[in-house]
Structures are given as structure tokens and as C-alpha cells.
Amino acid sequence: MIIDAHHHLWNYNQEEYGWMDDSMSVLKRDYLPVELERAKILYQNAIDCYQLKNEN
């Protein structure tokens, strides 16, 4: 069994992520659990399960 326990997920907002410059434009959007699942990244890499931690 393969478990992936490290993901960077966020709701993007300019105030909190103002340090992201134009070279990071691909990151200037929301990255949420549903998108992780939709992208099929886990399936394509044979990940059996994943763990998310809410740090709020």
C-alpha cells in the first residue's frame, strides 16, 4: 500500500500569498482536495490513499 501524506493545498488570495511573483503565476489559484482527485494524479501514480491535515 502506498500512502501520500504531503500535499500543498490552499485558497489563493493576494493578501496572504503576495510573495508569489509573476514567475509563479501557475500557483495563483485555488488548489483544493477536489482538484487533487480530479487531476487523477493519485491514481496515475498508484497512490492507494492520502491524508490531509487542516492547519486552520
Alpha-carbon Rg for the chain, nearest whole angstrom, is 13
Can you tell me the distance from the alpha carbon of 29 to that of 20, in angstroms, rounded to the nearest whole number? 11
The tens place of each residue's pLDDT in the chain, 56 residues long, gives 877 777 788 899 999 999 999 999 999 999 888 887 777 877 888 888 877 766 55
- Which residue matches cell numbers 500569498? 17
10, β-bridge pairs: 31
Q: What cell does 14 get? A: 493576494
The whole model's pTM is what? 0.61
Burial 3-13 (b: 16+ CB within 10 A, else e): eeeeeeeeeee
